[in-house]
Amino acid sequence: MAAFLQWRKFVFFDKEIVKEHGDTGKNVILPSGISACDSGRGHIVLGDMDGKVWLLTRSLQLTPFQAYKLRVTHLFQLKQHSILVSVGQDEHGINPLVKVWNLDKKDSGTPLCTRIFPAIPGNKPTEVSCLGVHENLNFMAIGFTDGSVVLTKGDITRDRHSKTMTLHEGNSPITGLAFRQVAKATHLFVATLEKVYQCYTLSVKEYPKVKLDTHGCALRCSCVADPSQDSQFIVAGDECVYLYQPDERGPCFAFDGHKLLAHWHRGYLFLLIRDPKSPNKTEFGSRESSSSDKQLLTIYDLENKFIAYYVLTRDGRMFALQEKDTQTKLEMLFKKNLFVMAINLAKSQHLDSDGLSEIFRHYGDHLYLKDHDGAIQQYIRTIGKLEPSYVIRKFLDAQRIHNLTAYLQALHRQSLANADHTTLLLNCYTKLKDSSKLEEFIKQSSESEVHFDVEIAIKVLRQAGYHSHAVFLAEKHTHHEWYLKIQLEDIKNYEEGLRYIGRLPFEQAESNMKRYGKTLMHHVPEGTTLLLKGLCTNYQPNRDAADKDSLDRAHINKANSEEFIPVFANNPRELKAFLEHMINVDPQSPQGVYDTLLELRLQDWAHEQDAARKKVLQEEAVSLLRSDNTVFDKALVLCQMHNFKEGILYLYEKGKLYQQIMHYHMQNEEYGKVIEACKRYGDQEGCLWEQALGYFARKEEDCKTYISEVLHHIDLNNLMPPLLVDLVVQTLAHNSTATLSVIKDYLINKLQRESEQIEDDERKISQYRVETAHLRSEIQDLKTSAKIFQKTKCNLCNSPLELPSVHFLCSHSFHQHCFESYAESEAECPTCAPENRKVMDMLRAQDQKRDLHDHFNRQLRSSSDGFSVVADYFGRGVFNKLTLVTDPPGSKPVSSLEASLQRDLLIHTKRNC
């Protein structure tokens, strides 16, 4: 129970006398003899002792209508409908009538009366004490002075659709009736002068009732609160105000004073209390105060526990109580440092979050001077509205780390912290050495409900030396890079770092191995090599058995093995094992894998001392060269660097570098190998014998045998022109070990062949001169004498010639039909055509080759006898200007007719006879 004197009093209402509209400034005077009043639907309803009902609108216009002939005793205006229910008398005596009015409809200027019925319980004449109507228009209750209650159920505006019954009977006058509707439950509270007798449940058949209390109330001293107070039934006694639920009594408040009226409006309880100096009248009918009584109107805020009061008088004037705005109320409370009450008031007034936050800030500032713990609690309630730096600066300056920590924790819980706030909070934890709070902070939220910047938290924890906490946070929130950075760089737990990488998805495992591969290889070589083998073939993360079932085995994840070769910089043994695994598993490995493996095998071969083992290593290196997966240039350089003879010779032969093979033997003075190379590759490259001859000719050692063998092959195959032999002879002349007998046989054979060639050439020259002279004679005969055709047989069918026949100047004759059947051209002899065609093809070939300089250069370089090539092209006229020679020098010019005759002779022009 709250004592009345403990409630604070505030003037939250301004009292004003209601004046008429306009410039007159006159006070509004109510009609005299008012006997009942109510309000709703935007107007006030007044009833007087003359039977009139007055409607006072918002514009202060009074409109009367005659409701009863004698007087009006009770009025009830519904809040949600324009329906007015009245009780009054049309005749003298005890004859109360209930009338239902529809204020929206008019009947000759008067509101339409939809229903009239007498208010008599059980045909016993008694006066009406109170009236109650349900807002759904389905229930109406009338209380009487004899203690009975009549309930009308159904449509209260019509007679045919409603039913009236006596709900309650008793001995004490009925002083209060109130309907309560919560969800689908409908209750009726009944209050009497002596006790709150019953609460009826009207939504259940047979209307069950519950006796609530033995305390009663006077007339008009009960009401129903709004939903903010759970729609409780309020009974104002002289000592206390009681609140009731449908099934029990609720709280009560000790408000002393003789209560004249209780009313609930917009969250406030209005109590009209008689001045204690006035005489106390306790009779039921004496609640009407005289004009000399002083009355105190007190307005209670039951939720926030404060009151405001005024003294009113009954002099016919009308007063209006204007409630102050919320901000004014709050400022009044701020001045008195009543922040708790201000907060409660703001909540009841449904102030927005910005307004509440401002109150909390004021309250925090007030407490900051004397109670840091209390102040931080108020500042926490401003999170989301007040800038956090406002609070942080205050507690940083005051060095109140505990309070600052509490505020930062709340800031993170609401997910409103930024990176700086996270850093500051973690620094607070570390300075306080509070590991338990630190663990609680980083472990309290799941992965989907993180209230801080995880990366910033990891950085701060790592910097402060809380490596285990940082590792936990990184692993929980899958910050793989931070987890590995701490494990490998700070904790030096290389095995755990390697295990963690093996559990990552392919892309992340690949990137982290590129970053930390060298470090891991240095400390955990075997495990690192094993992981890289899997990463570069078909990588599958090392997960639990349950997770392995969900892996996509069909998708192959394979890294580029060549990119990981630098990881093995100081681990050649592991590198060799890795590369050999790669070429065995994947023969299509990158080129760098084969090149690096070749280099490793050559290094092992070069450093091996055991002959048997060296032979095995040699075979391994050669087999790798034969696999055709190495780059020729790189492999050759590697073999030369390690002086790997077998590899060098194999690559020379593979690249058709026959001269390099012979030079290699020459450099190593392997004379037999030089001769062997010439025999093996001399057919592909004829200059090898010449180079070998020059090599042995310059040697001061006794190389007669080799020189003789070389000269024998040269002579046998005619590989060297005479001019080059002369140079060899000159070279041998300066050799102290070589004698003339070495080349005697070669020179004799060479000279004999040259002599035979000269004789053959001279014989051909004489033959060509005779043939030329004979041709010129024939040409001259054709020019100067007639040609007589004496052929008697056809040269094609060998049958006697018959006319018509065809004769050619070449002395060939043909039947006309034979010629047409076998001749390819009408102007050419069929017998001479093949030979003529050969001659013409040779002439055209010579013409085409005149400007083929590239072909000439290639033939000259590749030929063993360059002199013959040059002579041949001189004969073709490659080096001459284009000149047409028609006659030998000194002869007479040939006429155009003779030139035409020569052309016809050359192509064997036909003549028809």
Q: What's the pLDDT score for residue 394?
A: 81
pLDDT band at 888 (very low <50, low <70, confident <90, very high): very low
- pLDDT band with cut points at 50, 70 and 90 for residue 885: very low
Q: Which residues, 6+ apart, have CB-to-CB distance to 55 below 8 Å?
A: 43, 44, 45, 46, 62, 63, 64, 65, 103
What pLDDT digit, counting tens, does each position of 557-599 carry? 888 888 888 888 888 888 888 888 887 887 778 878 877 877 7
If you ran DSSP here, which 8-state letter would residue 383 be given? Answer: B
Task: Report the distance separating Cα 74 and Cα 98, nearest Å.
Answer: 9
First and final CA of the chain: distance in angstroms? 160
Q: Does the structure show a pLDDT above 90 at 111?
A: yes
Q: What percent of the chain lies above the pLDDT cut of 70?
A: 74
Going by pLDDT thresholds of 50, 70 and 90, the confidence category of residue 280 is low
The CA distance from 462 to 479, in Å, is: 14
Query: Which pLDDT does position 144 carry in this prediction?
Result: 93
pLDDT tier at 296, thresholds 50, 70, 90: confident
Quick check: helix, strand or coil at residue 465? coil
**pTM for the model:** 0.46
Question: Can you tell me the mean pLDDT for 416-423?
Answer: 80
pLDDT at 22: 55
Task: Give the model confidence (pLDDT) of 245-277 as tens digits.
Answer: 888 888 888 887 788 888 888 778 888 888 766
pLDDT in tens, 788-844: 777 778 887 888 877 888 888 777 888 888 887 777 777 788 888 888 788 788 777
CA 756 to CA 819: how far, in whole Å? 47
- Asked if the model's pLDDT at residue 449 lies above 90, the reply is no
Task: Read off the pLDDT of each residue in 208-233 and give the average, rounded to a whole number.
Answer: 87
Q: What is the mean pLDDT of residues 671-679?
A: 75
DSSP category for residue 31: P
Q: Residue 285 pLDDT more than 50?
A: no
Lowest mean pLDDT among 477-486, 678-687, 736-745: 736-745
**What's the CA dihedral at 497, 502, 507, 511 to 10 degrees?**
30
Query: Mapping DSSP to helix (H, G, I), strand (E, B) and coil, where does residue 379 land?
Result: helix
Which pLDDT does position 902 carry in this prediction? 40
- If you count DSSP H runs as helices and E runs as strands, how many of each does the chain have, helices first? 31, 31
φ/ψ of residue 904, rounded to 5: -65, -35
Mean pLDDT of all residues in 489-497? 86
Euclidean distance between CA atoms 413 and 603, whole angstroms = 63
The pLDDT confidence band at residue 555, using thresholds 50, 70 and 90, is low
Residue 725 clears pLDDT 70, i.e. is over it: no
Predicted confidence band of residue 101 (pLDDT cuts 50, 70, 90)? very high
176 within 8 A of 213, measured Cβ to Cβ: no
User: Which residue, among 506, 504, 494, has the nearest Cα to 474 in the 3D structure?
Assistant: 504
Q: How confident is the model at residue 901 (pLDDT cuts 50, 70, 90)?
A: very low
Q: Which residue has the tokens 């701490």?
A: 486
Query: How confident is the prediction for the chain on average, in pLDDT?
Result: 77
Q: Is the pLDDT of residue 684 over 80?
A: no
The pLDDT tens digits of the residues spanning 53-89 come to 988 887 778 889 999 999 999 999 998 899 999 999 9
What's the residue count for the chain? Answer: 913
Reading the block at residue 619, the tokens are: 């075979």
The three-point CA angle 296-297-298 to 5° equals: 110
- Of the CA atoms within 13 Å of residue 542, those in its CB half-sphere come to 12
The DSSP letter of residue 280 is: P
According to DSSP, the β-strands at 8-9 and 306-312 are parallel
Measured between alpha carbons, how far is 312 from 261 in angstroms, rounded to an integer? 13
Is pLDDT at 879 greater than 70 in this prediction? Answer: no
Listed in order, strand segments (DSSP E) in 217-294 are 222-224, 233-236, 241-244, 249-254, 259-265, 268-274
Q: Where are the domains of the chain?
A: 24-171, 656-753, 803-880
- 118-171 confidence digits (pLDDT tens): 888 877 788 999 999 999 999 999 999 988 999 999 999 888 878 888 888 888
Cis check: omega of the bond before 96, within 30 degrees of 0: no
Cα–Cα distance for residue pair 653/657, rounded to 1 Å = 6
Rounded Cα gap, residues 165 and 142, in angstroms: 11
pLDDT at 423: 79
Q: Say whether pLDDT at 402 is over 70.
A: yes
3-state DSSP assignment of residue 598: helix
Query: 315-365 pLDDT, tens per residue?
Result: 556 666 666 666 766 666 667 666 666 766 666 666 666 777 777 777 777
Asked whether residue 42 carries a pLDDT value surpassing 60, the answer given is: yes
What percent of the chain is modeled with pLDDT above 90? 10
Q: In the structure encoding, which two tokens stand for residue 304, read together? A: 């926030």
Q: How far apart are CA 207 and CA 19, in angstroms?
A: 49
Handedness of CA 656, 657, 661, 662 (dihedral sign): positive
* 299 vs 308: CA distance, rounded Å: 5
Does residue 544 register a pLDDT over 70?
Answer: no
Q: Give the burial class of 474: count Cβ atoms within 10 A of its Cβ; 0-12 exposed, 13-18 middle, 19 or more buried.
A: buried
Neighbour order of strands in the sheet with 62-66 = 34-40, 43-48, 52-56, 62-66
For 235, what's the count of Cα atoms within 13 Å in the CB-facing half-sphere? 28
pLDDT band at 175 (very low <50, low <70, confident <90, very high): very high
CATH architecture assigned to 24-171: 7 Propeller (2.130)
Largest CA distance in the chain: 185
Mean pLDDT of 533-543: 83
**498-507: pLDDT as tens digits:** 898 888 888 8
Per-residue DSSP letters for 829-865? -TTTHHHHHHHHHHHHHHHHHTT-HHHHHHHHHH-S-
pLDDT bracket for residue 709 (50, 70, 90):
low
Q: What is the pLDDT of residue 722?
A: 61
Q: Give the DSSP per-residue string, 510-538.
A: HHHHHHHHHHHHHH-HHHHHHHHHHHTT-
| Residue-wise burial string across 801-838, b where 16 or more C-beta atoms lie within 10 A, e elsewhere | beeebbbbbeebbbbeebbeeebeeeebbbbebeebee
pLDDT given at position 883: 44
CA 883 to chain centre: 82
In 119-142, which positions are buried (b, 16+ CB within 10 angstroms) versus exposed (e)? bbbeeeebebbbbbbbeebbbbbb
278 pLDDT above the threshold of 60: no
Residue 756 reports pLDDT greater than 70: yes
